[in-house]
Amino acid sequence: MLYTRPCMRLDGWRSWAAAALSAALLELPFPLAGPMPAWHSFFAWVGLAPLVAAVLSRATVSHRRPWLQAFLLSYFCGFLWYAGNCYWVRDTMMRYGDMPAAAPTLLLIGFSLVLGLYFGLFGLAVMLVRMAAQSASWALAAAPVAWVALDLAAARITSVPWDQLGYSQVDNALVNQLAPWTGVYGITFVLVAVNALLAGALVLSSRAGQIVAGTAGLLLLAAGVVGLGLRPGDAPTTAAAMLVQPNLDVGDESAWPGSQWGQHIAQFTRLAADPCRSYIAGIPQTGAPVVVPQCAVLGPPSSLIVWPESPAPFAEQDPRLKDALAAVARATGAPLIIGSIGMDYVPEEQDWHDYNSALVVGVDGVRVGRYDKIHLVPFGEFVPFKDLLSFARKLTGRVSEFTRGSERSVFRLNGHRYGVFICYEAVFADEVREFAQLGAEVLVNISDDGWYGDTSAPWQHLNMARMRAIENRRWILRDTNNGVTAAIDPYGRVRQSIPRHIVDALPAAYGFRDDVTFYTAHGDVFAWACAILGLGIVGGAIGAGLRRGLQIKVRS
């Protein structure tokens, strides 16, 4: 006993260290404070393996309550990962939340404690299968199923599917071929499966099993990493758009009193009408070359002008806005998509409803339609359960009071169909694909990432929008208030962009596609299959455990 107890303590310490190591490794395949180098995606293939090995280690399995130990180890890893990956939550609240000094830090801690539960449930599910099957092999096989099922829960229950593991492979042309079939979930499944195989080389009981699992994991890892060197298919361009980046300060007063309105509109008009502007042939801050066009040999005239979601005081009912947009449309001969505040009068309530909207104006200056943002940001664009959480407004004085939109619309402009989604909606794959399903030949994403400052969030947000292009095989015109404004091709490549934090406009070349991918047509079928299978596996494991406990009780 004097010898074994120290070993037990040492093994337990190593398990917690392994969980912390996984959290650290899983931070690396995502942007930290700038664009992510493509080679960092390697860490997603190995980063989860220490946690899986710790959950299935002898120290955890022999614990008095192994299921609780597995949950706590994984929960610890999840808490650390969310706190690191989403540190920008604290920064944003400190700058713009109008909160007491300690509140942003407490908010980040609470955020990470809640979302870290998904990691905890993953560890619990793996251990329940291990206990029921009395075999680590079955637990390892269940790991990717459980992870994808919980990713789906994060998207549907808590509505924060931020930086799911598959997004780390947005630059991997081989693995990304799964996305048009399974969405990002299929990529995540492969990554977790490889991590589980690598963990199997450490935790399987037989030497042969360790060799087989380790060899298979390494072969799949090598095949996956090869995808970073592959070049996706061609994506021809047949049209051009002007994506205006106004670089407005989200912290400033946005009423535009006196002459400010005229000055801003004049600037917008000038940027929208000047296609002879330089751009970056890739992602900003990556060393991609700057292209200075030969103004005497310009491409096609602009087929679209876009103004992003921003703190501009653009209210749909404002006659000044109507006149200005009509003048720009007629002068440029191009339709416009403008981030604005939509307004509807509701007779039953005798009141106006405000929407975070994209206003669409035709080449004749006449309103074509409006898309109202459906997936609003809780505690940013509305307060959920207002009666119950009335204190939230006192803590976050900048919370807006928008009404949720009700219809995903596709707009026909210049003979082509456009779908528009706004800011945070870019992270919801099953919602964005509905625009392509409705016939959109190109997608337009307007966003205000100014709230995030120079944190990781703008770059993380960009990569998730890039995955939407891959899943639906559509061009995405991404117009932001202060960057990253970019043209993204159907394979997720950023073909053009402009620097962040400057007033500028991107002359974005793009194309049209009307083919429909499996994912566009059917959505999260793969993820739902994992969820159903995962529930069945865990339910069976719990049932087996209960039966075994009952048998022991009867025998005793």
Segment 24-50, tens digit of pLDDT: 999 999 999 899 999 999 999 999 999
Question: For helices 184-203 and 207-226, what crossing angle results, to 10°?
Answer: 150
Query: Which pLDDT score is estimated for 286?
Result: 94
What global pTM score does this model have?
A: 0.93
Query: Which pLDDT score is estimated for 96?
Result: 76
pLDDT digits (tens, 9 = 90+) for 323-377: 999 999 998 899 999 999 998 888 888 788 899 999 999 999 999 999 999 988 8
Which phi and psi (to 5°) does residue 413 adopt?
A: -135, 130
Mean pLDDT to the nearest integer, 197-201 = 97
Q: Identify residue 473 by its one-letter amino acid code.
A: R
pLDDT digits (tens, 9 = 90+) for 287-297: 999 999 877 55
Query: Which pLDDT score is estimated for 296?
Result: 59
Which whole-number Å values give the CA distances from 361 to 477, 492, 550, in the listed order?
Answer: 17, 28, 69
Query: Which pLDDT score is estimated for 544?
Result: 80
Which whole-number Å values give the CA distances from 211 to 116, 141, 193, 223, 249, in the listed order?
Answer: 32, 16, 16, 18, 57
Q: What is the mean pLDDT of the chain?
A: 90
Q: HSE (CB half, 13 Å, CA atoms) of 464?
A: 26
pLDDT digits (tens, 9 = 90+) for 204-220: 989 999 999 999 999 99
487 has pLDDT over 60: yes
pLDDT digits (tens, 9 = 90+) for 231-245: 888 899 999 999 999
CATH class of 239-521: alpha beta
Region of 424 (left: φ > 0; alpha: ψ -120 to 50; beta: rest) is: alpha
Which phi and psi (to 5°) does residue 364 adopt?
A: -90, 5
Query: Which pLDDT score is estimated for 101?
Result: 79
Query: Which pLDDT score is estimated for 459?
Result: 97
Q: Percent of the chain beyond pLDDT 70? A: 91
